[in-house]
Structure 1
């Protein structure tokens, strides 16, 4: 068995989480690099004492200098990528049974499936693959061939993840389409139909991670007046309307997203949802000044903390948003608030609601603590994969 020509030697006391299965080797954890690996090359990662940790792929431009994929000494060849993808496909098909219930779900969840830097969503016969690793992107052809063989997908669109393309050294315009991508793509979730724009939409065009949470929040909406903030294409709003909400006001800043949301309401024959474009904090200020009150407020903002340096500002933004949301919530109302920032852990996000309770002088009872769906499995050694928090609380 061949050994990579280059070695990444770690600093003292930096190997333990990697031995345990965490895949990220950060630049500040590296003592030296032996050899001259090119971007995307396979490398051996070893402890400061020289013990082999595992095999990974190297990127000298990224804060994550190497991503680990194997701990057993085997090569990172085409057969390995196909086997790892097959395991991911089998989880969704044989364990979760998603093919039988939903046409929209996450097929590959990056670190959660041992494929750091690759995210794949399935929308019926179409797959959308996002690459957040330069090294995996350079193995794109083999990965897409394996995906098509394993899933029978009629079309795959593969592109770099815009959020990290620059720091990984990826060209956001390097999009590859294999097979046929339908111009008018409709998927089904929780008994509702959704149009999905896989070519121009945010991320892969839809947010499959909130599937179970949309259904859970809807259970509190029967006969209620609902405010859905950051509604995107209408996921929470339409579930609330379907569950019998008296009325739903759905707000987002994106005109294209709202156009799709209105179309989704039309095709589902939902008439009691009012969509509004605008800046959420300003709209909340206006609603408070007008004395508007809602029985259920849903907050599902975009990621506020993409890097460690963003954490403090992000926590401030979450606090302000949730304070403003509570200001328009009726006594005894339900607040469903979310964070998709992996750097904000569950305890810290609960502290945001504790802060809201303190400053609003209103009791907050957390009824449900939820996360992403099971098609986004959490890797035990990689806590960053437990990224989505959804707290459903009663505010007195």
Structure 2
């Protein structure tokens, strides 16, 4: 079957239509009475309830368990190049609600479901773009989407990626390529929190870096003044270097990635934070749990501990395991904190709700007989908006607490 602009109707199982009436964009294969296995990846489909009533319009990938991505909830709207361009323009305008573009800085331009573009993530680093496709069906329109992004930002270069894990789930080949062969060999420099950073668009994680925490880096740094800080899962030093610049007495960064620690050291030198006017800083390569255990056995103490671990829950089946991991990690951190110390603890697991994360901290305090007083209960930067219809987009938690 060739791709057609005429949507193919697919029917849901009985009583499976309610999430989509609330505009949730994901239709899993098990919800469908007609699975569309014979359709081509990228085919436009109309989603019907079991009685045959029109519900929404989307794009199918018969190779994926997340079978249909929904983009339109008005039967009069077509899914075509014009729709993608309009949604991208809306996403760009949404970022400008908080101020004009800073061409030397970085921002998330498109955040998938939150910008009604499920399966597309776009980050801007100064005059370059990192684009990640997480929906195989959307690659049908890859060329016009990338052309529009290049025009909208006068982009010098665009790195396009689909990682191995996503490609496996989507039944496609992974990709990592420069759009139309326009490549850059050197790292891209950009400004964030009054520091100059570098991102490797080809070799970095996701689109090259993590932008969602940048306001949390800045907010938590204020609490670090004069303190001895332990920065666990420090990656390229976002929290620790901001703390050092703000006046932390010392910083110890721990991460399991040697390249990430190399980036942190380079950023330290690039910004002159290794000078005598700043506190001491060191980095340790190792697993976060192993290193925290060693510090505890050595009876080390700190005035502040920052925890920014990777995602522990990739699916709902991993929720209990993730909560146990968060509980263990935070308990070990609390054991290292002096009375009155500051704990900055984060979770990027969308499957772990904010209430579950706070209840985990409550349990840590109970088990360790310590009082945790929340000073700030934060989320991501505003260029990572939350779609009410897709609770999974409310993924990042950053709690700043005092531990008595």
- TM-score where L is the length of structure 1: 0.96
Residue pair 1:265, 1:273 contacting (<8 A) in 2 also: no
1:305: Cα distance to partner? 0.8
1:225 paired with 2:228, answer yes
- Aligned mate of 2:31, from 29, 32, 53: 29
Segment of structure 1 superposing worse, 99-108 or 61-70: 99-108
1:83: Cα distance to partner? 0.7
1:165 paired with 2:167, answer yes
Residue pair 1:4, 1:44 contacting (<8 A) in 2 also: no
1:90 paired with 2:98, answer no
**For residues 199 and 330 of structure 1, what CA distance do their matches in structure 2 show?**
41
Match of 1:286 in 2: 294
Match of 1:145 in 2: 147
1:174: Cα distance to partner? 4.9
- Aligned mate of 1:303, from 288, 296, 311: 311
**For residues 143 and 216 of structure 1, what CA distance do their matches in structure 2 show?**
35
**For residues 97 and 110 of structure 2, what CA distance do their matches in structure 1 show?**
14
Q: Please give the per-residue CA displacement for 1:65-106, whole angstroms capped at 9, x wherever unaligned.
A: 1000111122211111111111111112x3122623861110
1:61: Cα distance to partner? 2.1
1:121: Cα distance to partner? 0.5
Structure-2 change in CA distance of 1:275 and 1:134 (3 Å): same
Segment of structure 1 superposing worse, 4-13 or 371-380: 4-13
1:350: Cα distance to partner? 0.6
Match of 1:367 in 2: 375
**For residues 395 and 17 of structure 2, what CA distance do their matches in structure 1 show?**
23
Structure-2 change in CA distance of 1:51 and 1:357 (3 Å): same
Q: Please give the per-residue CA displacement for 1:21-79, whole angstroms capped at 9, x wherever unaligned.
A: 11011122112246942122111111122221111010122221100011112221111
Residue pair 1:98, 1:105 contacting (<8 A) in 2 also: no
**For residues 50 and 345 of structure 2, what CA distance do their matches in structure 1 show?**
43
- Aligned mate of 2:256, from 253, 257, 279: 253
Residue pair 1:15, 1:53 contacting (<8 A) in 2 also: yes
Match of 2:277 in 1: none
CA RMSD across the alignment: 1.6
**For residues 188 and 174 of structure 1, what CA distance do their matches in structure 2 show?**
25
Structure-2 change in CA distance of 1:168 and 1:379 (3 Å): same
1:291: Cα distance to partner? 1.1
1:162: Cα distance to partner? 3.8
- Aligned mate of 1:350, from 343, 352, 358: 358
Residue pair 2:146, 2:179 contacting (<8 A) in 1 also: no
1:163: Cα distance to partner? 3.9
**For residues 130 and 98 of structure 1, what CA distance do their matches in structure 2 show?**
24
Match of 1:327 in 2: 335
Match of 2:217 in 1: 214
**For residues 130 and 344 of structure 2, what CA distance do their matches in structure 1 show?**
29
**For residues 48 and 122 of structure 1, what CA distance do their matches in structure 2 show?**
42
Match of 2:201 in 1: 198
- Aligned mate of 2:6, from 4, 7, 17: 4
Residue pair 1:84, 1:115 contacting (<8 A) in 2 also: yes
Aligned length: 394
Residue pair 1:242, 1:270 contacting (<8 A) in 2 also: yes
**For residues 375 and 73 of structure 2, what CA distance do their matches in structure 1 show?**
40
Structure-2 change in CA distance of 1:302 and 1:35 (3 Å): closer
Segment of structure 1 superposing worse, 48-57 or 78-87: 48-57
Is the partner of 1:136 in helix, strand or coil?
A: helix
Match of 1:235 in 2: 238
Residue pair 2:196, 2:267 contacting (<8 A) in 1 also: yes
Match of 2:344 in 1: 336
1:374: Cα distance to partner? 0.6
Q: Please give the per-residue CA displacement for 1:207-249, whole angstroms capped at 9, x wherever unaligned.
A: 1000111111101000000010111111001100011000000
Structure 1 residues not aligned, in runs of 5+:
none
**For residues 307 and 163 of structure 1, what CA distance do their matches in structure 2 show?**
14
- TM-score where L is the length of structure 2: 0.94
Residue pair 2:163, 2:175 contacting (<8 A) in 1 also: no
Structure-2 change in CA distance of 1:249 and 1:35 (3 Å): closer
